[in-house]
């Protein structure tokens, strides 16, 4: 009997050690999650929430209490919840301007906002599987701290859409971009008609890039005004590249067709740039941007119709 008790105790201790302080799939703090991620070359999933947030509480009750979700939170990633009222600096660096929000830090240094608002179980499980798969495909061993979010004021076209937060019912739509196994086309699409995406995002300046300073992202070639701007882009390309591969989000939502937008009709929402075919589509987007911010994980560059320039 004594030996049976000792054997059970050893098993319990081993199990507790393996969990490394995790509770229901979550690490207790960001630093703990970062340490675990570095040791396993895994992505870090940060779920930003707040004590006053109704949709956050709903996710706790309906989503995070589910054993299947709890298991997925530990599959190939280190997950942590962060209260924006308790860690405002981290929230600011990650651009968490509204909650609930899920941000991921991949081993190659890429940082992306994956979800804004309440998400149901099937969609959230797909999101977690995508994080795990992308993390396993990356060879860079260590994730990095999130880059400071840029706070800028628009002074020209493209026009910024008003920042929207989750509504009372928590119906904000998710933002997901999948970059794994991206195809390429020849000649490549030239993003933003050759204007520098970093200066456009950070300073709202339309500056022509140097054709000798380029990089390809998700099958689209971007041109930069300087090597420094290219280096900034490479640290967080999903922040600077137009969303949906530069395709009109209204057309994509309404018709499921990926048609390139125009730099004449752009709008910033949640610090991301969206392009449209017409001022009418841009106005429709600005009236209810969350309607058109959808999961685009299946969108590939070889599916894009229309102009070769964005």
Local mean pLDDT, 10-residue blocks, the chain (310 residues): 44 40 82 88 92 90 94 94 88 82 82 84 89 73 36 41 37 35 64 93 92 89 95 88 89 85 89 91 88 59 62
Pairing of strands 272-276, 262-269: antiparallel
Does residue 202 contact residue 145 with C-beta atoms inside 8 Å? no
The per-residue pLDDT for 248 is 92
Beta bridge partner(s), residue 46: 80, 103
Query: The tokens of 215 are what?
Result: 């990089």
* Neighbour tally for 68: CB within 10 Å: 10
Residue 71 three-state SS: helix
The per-residue pLDDT for 53 is 86
pTM (whole model) above 0.85: no
Pairing of strands 78-83, 111-116: unpaired
The per-residue pLDDT for 306 is 61
Q: Classify domain 22-137 by CATH architecture.
A: 3-Layer(aba) Sandwich (3.40)
The per-residue pLDDT for 299 is 57
The per-residue pLDDT for 98 is 83
Cα 283 from Cα 288, distance rounded (Å):
9
The per-residue pLDDT for 307 is 55
Cα 182 from Cα 175, distance rounded (Å):
18
Cα 159 from Cα 204, distance rounded (Å):
10
Residue 178 three-state SS: coil
> What are the extents of the domains in the chain?
22-137, 179-303
Does residue 239 contact residue 272 with C-beta atoms inside 8 Å? yes
């Amino acid at each position: 009997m004594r030996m049976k008790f000792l054997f059970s105790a050893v098993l319990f201790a081993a199990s507790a050690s393996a969990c490394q302080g995790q509770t229901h799939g979550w690490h207790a703090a960001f630093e703990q999650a970062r340490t675990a991620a570095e040791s396993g070359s895994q992505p870090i999933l940060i779920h930003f929430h707040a004590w006053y947030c109704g949709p956050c509480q709903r996710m706790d009750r309906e989503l995070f209490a589910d054993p299947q979700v709890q298991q997925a939170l530990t599959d190939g990633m280190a997950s942590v919840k962060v209260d924006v009222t308790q860690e405002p600096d981290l929230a600011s660096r990650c651009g968490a301007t509204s909650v609930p929000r899920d941000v991921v830090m991949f081993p190659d240094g890429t940082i992306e906002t994956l979800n804004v608002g309440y998400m149901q179980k099937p969609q959230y499980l797909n999101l977690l599987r995508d994080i795990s798969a992308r993390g396993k495909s990356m060879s860079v061993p260590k994730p990095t701290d999130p880059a400071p979010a840029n706070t800028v004021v628009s002074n020209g076209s493209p026009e910024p859409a008003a920042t929207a937060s989750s509504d009372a019912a928590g119906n904000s739509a998710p933002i997901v971009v999948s970059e794994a196994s991206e195809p390429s086309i020849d000649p490549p699409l030239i993003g933003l008609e050759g204007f520098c995406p970093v200066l456009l995002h950070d300073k709202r300046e339309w500056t022509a890039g140097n054709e000798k300073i380029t990089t390809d992202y998700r099958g689209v070639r971007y041109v930069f005004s300087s090597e420094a701007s290219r280096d900034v882009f490479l640290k967080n390309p999903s922040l600077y590249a137009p969303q949906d591969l530069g395709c009109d989000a209204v057309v994509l939502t309404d018709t499921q067709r990926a048609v390139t937008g125009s730099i004449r009709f752009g709008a910033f929402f949640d610090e991301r740039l969206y392009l449209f075919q017409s001022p009418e589509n841009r106005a429709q987007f600005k009236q209810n941007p969350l309607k058109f911010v959808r999961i685009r994980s299946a969108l590939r560059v070889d599916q894009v119709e229309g102009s070769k320039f964005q």
